[in-house]
Amino acid sequence: MPTRLHKNRKKRGHVSAGHGRIGKHRKHPDGRGNAGGMHHKRIMFDKYHPGYFGKVGMRYFHKTNNKFHCPTLNLDKVWTLVSDDVRKEYAEKTDVAPVIDVYKAGYFKVLGRGHLPKQPVIVKAKFFSKTAEKKIKAVGGTCVLTA
């Protein structure tokens, strides 16, 4: 923006330039940023950000996330792990069902969102949710737990 359009041009000749003679326009009169949250800005923090200070929960010393690693897969995606040809091939057969090992695809747990085609399937995984197990059995399939 050119200088001639700046608001400051209007204030030329007026001593304090709109910032008042008494308070004065100083750099950071009440501290920078969140300074004073426990002191002079306490009311604002308590009113608009309750719970900002303090701790919550238990401490967990040396938490390694390896034991919590559990990638999940929903039922609506289970059939994407095998090709479409496999699904069509087993659709006609009634005596055998395809085996889908979700662990080989990098998933540990099968969750129950979505629908399965009305076609039996054997799903192998480390963990199954209750709803996933119910839906797999409803289409005539089985859940096989692997270590």
Cα 132 to Cα 1, 68, 91, distances in angstroms? 62, 20, 21
- DSSP-H helix ranges across 6-125: 42-48, 75-78, 84-92
Distance of alpha carbon 135 from alpha carbon 117, whole angstroms:
10
Q: For the chain, give the mean pLDDT.
A: 95
Distance of alpha carbon 137 from alpha carbon 81, whole angstroms:
19
In the numeric block, the tokens 């659709």 are attached to 91
pLDDT surpassing 90 at residue 22: yes
Q: Averaged over 83-90, what is the pLDDT?
A: 91
Where residue 92 falls among pLDDT bands split at 50, 70, 90? confident
Q: Averaged over 114-130, what is the pLDDT?
A: 96
Q: What is the pLDDT of residue 79?
A: 95
